[in-house]
Structure 1
Amino acid sequence: MANISLRHVCKTFHNGVVAVRDCTLEAAEGEFLVVAGPEGSGKSTLFRLIAGLETPTEGDIYIGGVVVNQLFPQQRDIAMVLPNHVLYPELTVKENLAFRLKMHRMPEAEVERHVQEVAGLLQIDPLLDRKPGALTSMQQQMVMLARAMVQGHKVLLLDEPFVHLDEKLRAQMGKELRELHKRLGITILYATKDQAEAVALGDRIAVMKEGFIQQAGAPEELYASPANQFVAGFLGNPPMNFLNVKVGADGSDYTFTFGKSAVRMPQGWDETGVLKSYVGKNVVLGVRPKDVHDDPAFVEKMEKGVVNAEVEVMESVGGESYLYLTCSGHSITAGVDADAMRQSGEQIQIAFDMEKIKLFDSDTEHTIWR
């Protein structure tokens, strides 16, 4: 096992494209860290920098406390699995696992020991005499993991390794990977654009956008206290509702107006007084679908968060139901009781749980409240 430390790492390519910018990130020894972000956010370049396949323009990369900027990939004690990695189709699973070991002229007995050890860990012993064409997609992924691990590396980099699997198989592979991590305690960095996969797998998540780490922390920390609007919108399914609102002050309340609708919040809730400087200005109000209610009892209780809305569509997924609504020209999604029956075009009242809203600066997108 080894820890990984990135300190102000940047990567600018010869064509001027900045792929990674001022990246500072720590992965503790034995940690399962997920780097999550949309396509083109810089995840793959970041992993290639750690693996030594790219050289940083600025900054330092430490593995096990040692600066590795000038070390070749094979000197870094890192294994990496890419989404386009394939097995040699003409070789058996055992031969695939042994291939690189033999290339390094490892003695035959040592090769056999390493292959059997990793095959046992990943429980693929029965597959050793088969060829890749005789394996299921999930079995092939397990073999690719085994091939990466067979040389006993201290760090495992997985760059969207299961992207070509369907949702059910990805979930199964994720479960197997978590179990493997528990058994081995190896340091794992895992890249994905799927927020649900990130939350399910990671001890911590580093959310990346446009080459920059937006925020890193435990999944529940990022969900409850996002640093900015992007992180708030990236985590959660369905995603957070965002409304462009104007801040006002009315008596002892702040008001947040959008179109003909407005919600209110006691000024006393703003303990730091940050919202005073935003009165008369526009901000972004964020509220998660689960914190938007149509239940009459909640609507009556949260009277300062009540607005009128029109039902566009009601959708039921498993035991959950969602209302897709229009309110003063804004689209809003509400998570409602599975027994609720709403019709398209129906006029209803909904209430925001005002204790759960987030407010973001319209210019910087930084979180300014909660």
Structure 2
Amino acid sequence: MPQSKLAKATTEALGHQVTDDQIFKNALDSMGPENNLPGYHAGDNFVPYGQSFLNNPETYFDYLNTIAVKYGLVFIKQSLAQNPLYNFKRGQIPYGGKIESVVFDTISPKVYRPDKITGSESPFAQNFGRVVGKTYTQWFDIESSNTIVDTQDTMFFQNLQQFHDFVYGKVAQLVNGAVLDEFYHTKLTLSKSLADGMIAKTTVDNVKELQKQILYYARRFQYFSRDNNSMGINQATHVSDIEVLVPLKTSIDIDVDFVANAFNPELFKATQVHFTEVDAFPDVWTYSADHVVTSDDIDKGYVDGRVHPVGSTIKKGSIATANATDAEQKLVGDKVGAIVLDRDALQLWDALPLTLSTINNPKKRYTNIFLNQKTALMFVQALNSRAIMLK
């Protein structure tokens, strides 16, 4: 029997066969006996259940709520939209804690001189090694919703597969939108850090030179050096923690054999790093001065009135929309040929993981499905990172 998109996604996420019948039965069981629906068995005619949903919007709401919560991780894991940078996720921020990556610089030894015992040579003299914790943090804090009209949307399903396809599609609309938005803001965190000088830069003339520089820094990062990051911290990165991010525009020009060889565990054991392709790195525009929001800013789409109402002030240096008043371009994303970085340089911490919930309006017979997420997107300047720029 054909599977719905919900059943297929659940099967792929769990690694074993899950049918629409099982999903339906498990959901009804989770709702409890008060759902006023008869017990369901595999192969039962869906029509009477559909009729019950049509006549009891609250029961339909309970079912949607159960599916959204119970299968929330399935929707997220199997979403059509994917965030290639998801591997930078670190988990959830500890309650009440502030995430800060502390980096320790090395201390250079001196030649032994037993005759020097005063001043800075005294055994009681204090010598504080350099400890750096500078990070750029951007909060990704979102909400979205999707509405299902109970007594209208349930009228058109002739079987369980069609019903689950619809439910899956409505939830997937929310999840795909959130995943795409998080992906964009993760890339924007890198672009903004680069624009602000937090990532060291090297400029090349062509793709062949780009290939050499990717390989050079993928190896160079494994050796202690003060040239591997913009703060001059003496750092080395373990080979398994080296990431190479390449935009599609340059990725298609990079020699296939180069990628196969340079990151082949057998041929180049010392350069086995993680290679990730992204669609593009965003341009960066920032406000060159404190900007007071006007109605014109909102009307032209330069500013979101929900976030910055008329009369509010956007601080100098804040991210701006392209060509907005008082904004200047700080980075052309297409000039970024690749970014080589320590995996810990980019960190995504969830204050609230992507979460689904529902609310029902019985008077108007509709259900709202809500999505919420709050994530800290962080870049650690003191760890190794190098952007290879194209002229």
Mark yes or no: TM-score above 0.5. no
The structure whose RCO (Cα within 8 Å, separation 6+) is larger is 2
TM-score (norm 1): 0.26
Structure number with bigger Rg: 2
TM, length-normalised to structure 2: 0.25
